[in-house]
Amino acid sequence: MNKDVSTTNYKNISNRLHKSNKSFISQDFLLRTEFAKRLYHNYAKTLPIIDYHCHLSPQHIADNTQFENCTQVWLAGDHYKWRAMRTLGINEKFITGNASDIEKFRKWGETVPYTVRNPLYHWTHLELKRYFDIDQLLTKTNSEDVYHQTSSILQKKTHSTQGLLKHMNVEIVCTTDDPTDNLKHHQKAVKNNGPLKLLPTFRPDKVYTVENPSNYNEYLDVLSDTSGIDIQSYDDLINALNNRVAYFHKHGCRLSDHGLEQLYYFEVGTYDIEKLFQKLKKRQSLDKEEINYFQFETLLHLCKSYHKQGWVQQFHLGALRNTNSRMLDKLGPDTGFDSIGDFSQALGLSKFLNQLDSSNQLSKTIVYNLNPADNEVMATMIGNFNDGSVKGKIQFGSAWWFLDQKDGMEKQINSLSNLGLLSCFVGMLTDSRSFLSFPRHEYFRRILCNLIGKDVENGELPADEEWLGKMVSDICYYNAKEYFGF
């Protein structure tokens, strides 16, 4: 039991919450037709979750961490919530500052009613209901009661990190890990031999982020130590990366991931890559085109290494990051000051994928798009490189970041349906740092079933429940299980 809440107080809090405003999250939330309800409840609802891309802490999972209170598990690191609070005019002290956890939660409770029509409103009440059985609207008035009740529940063994994942029927979690990571927490999880699979994902963004040569050389020193290869040349760098790919593969990794504004393409040899590398070693800055070329050739080498291992590669494209320099200096990256970018995607992406495909070294690939204006571009691009060798070899990834809300998901699903095969889609992921984010899978499943159910009601699809139910089940679980080979 949380030290802030006695048994008597816990009962009083439960009674007060029971009497407060009831939530709108019903059994048939978002399901507008009877056919949609049958699809969700009979074919999607109870399926396990394969979360093949997230930013959860592997240490928290391996150590089966017990969070002290709801602020620590729900608000810490969640820049979605931080942006909303800042918009409402809440002081940074109560967001990332030195206010107490209960003060921060009160401010979040004050914010929630103002998030109506933002996905945070749906997510907040889904998460309260699914993890804590709180079926009430979170407000300024009841925020302290909610804080104490959720914090008390979090002390139970059922609500440790592994307990939370089990509660949501999570089968596989793929974290996001730098090549220099020793993966000790993943190894610990394997030794624990629990039902949950914790697998690493190779995320080498720092390897080709060379805008700051001093920072880059510091990173190379760490990579040298980790790989056991003294990196003095570009060939040494590639050998070190191959070493780390092999190490990750040995420890269960089957995916890579890359966060990029866009993919670039050059004729190989446009620049002398060794000369560029030596400039960086001397802490000399590269110009914009040289930086882009360094990314291009390094990614090309990496993608060929992934293909050799049989991995799936992921490209998250289109984020404009760290736009507020004042707040970047104050709080650092990943604190809520990024946005959708309007980068040109089609030409570089097509030529990069073609470069790999021309030598038959194009791995299974998932392309995620952050700008909805490019949905149709991505949905047609994947068809260019599906060659019949693998079902859904090239995937248009689920709506992510700013688009993982109802409208964004519907647009991604509709674009994929119109221009590809929705039936081959590998479905949803959380892309989250929060252990309370897994109702996003439920959110996606309800939206998917509602779209198909609406088509049936409109006479645009046959009312073939068995076939459409199978398609829903495949998208929600079985396609991913087959695609990744888990």
Query: What residue ranges define each of the domains in the chain, with the CATH number in brackets?
Result: 7-28+66-159 (1.10.2020.10), 165-484 (3.20.20.140)
Determine the pLDDT at residue 12.
Answer: 65
- The pLDDT tens digits for 312-370 are 999 999 999 999 999 999 999 999 999 999 999 999 999 999 999 999 999 999 999 99
Determine the pLDDT at residue 50.
Answer: 98
Tokens of 132: 């804590």
- The pLDDT tens digits for 157-196 are 999 999 999 999 999 999 999 999 999 999 999 998 788 9
| Helix residue ranges per DSSP H, 251-360 | 273-281, 288-309, 325-331, 346-358
pLDDT beneath 70: ranges in the chain? 1-20
Determine the pLDDT at residue 194.
Answer: 82
Measured CA to CA, the distance from residue 231 to residue 409 in angstroms comes to 43
Close Cβ partners of 39 (under 8 Å, ≥ 6 residues apart): 449, 452, 453, 465, 468, 469, 472
Determine the pLDDT at residue 1.
Answer: 47
Determine the pLDDT at residue 192.
Answer: 85
Nearest-5° Cα angle at 451, 449 to 452: 65
299-314 in b/e form (b: 16+ CB < 10 A) is bbebbbbbbebebbbb
444-474 in b/e form (b: 16+ CB < 10 A) is bbbbbbbbbbbbbeeeeeeeeeeebbebbbb
Determine the pLDDT at residue 281.
Answer: 98
Measured CA to CA, the distance from residue 127 to residue 122 in angstroms comes to 9
Of the candidates 405, 442, 428, 448, the one whose C-alpha atom is nearest the C-alpha of residue 46 is 442
The one-letter code for the residue type at 272 is D
Strand partners, 22: 136
Determine the pLDDT at residue 4.
Answer: 52
Instruction: Output the pTM of the full model.
Output: 0.94
Helix H or strand E encompassing 80:
helix 79-87
Determine the pLDDT at residue 6.
Answer: 54
